[in-house]
Structure 1
Amino acid sequence: MNGSQEGRGRGRDGSSQISTKDAMRRNLMAVLKPAAPSLNHVALLQGNKAYGVHVRPLKVPAREGRS
């Protein structure tokens, strides 16, 4: 097994995380649809902890290699 496939199905990509994230997405959309009927696109940011957003605000526009 190569490094990119190690740990698949466990940890943050495991089925418990998938069901949790799916429930969060469904709850968000249940509120957004009635509140914004003309909304036609929703972008979800993922993987943001890898860039340290849980420690400090992300600079916009985001750039690789910039803190």
Structure 2
Amino acid sequence: MAQTILKVEGMTCGHCKASVEGALQELSGVKQAEVDLATGTVVVNYEEDKVTIKAMEEAVEEQGYDIA
């Protein structure tokens, strides 16, 4: 199991948090995604052999947020 922290711009509320966490958790291989609105980050626990960081970034961007 691996962990990465994504810096996401534009998250401001509970809906933002739910959108980003939901998009990441739908990816095969992502076990947990936890948004911290105060820091604008998402801590993601995932299986390296099933999902890439690039795929996670794309899932977040598809929700309308930018990766810093």
TM-score (norm 2): 0.31
Question: Higher helix fraction: Structure 1 or Structure 2?
Answer: 1
Q: Rg: which structure is higher?
A: 1
Q: Which has the higher contact order (CA 8 A, sep 6+)?
A: 2
TM-score (norm 1): 0.32
Question: Higher strand fraction: Structure 1 or Structure 2?
Answer: 2
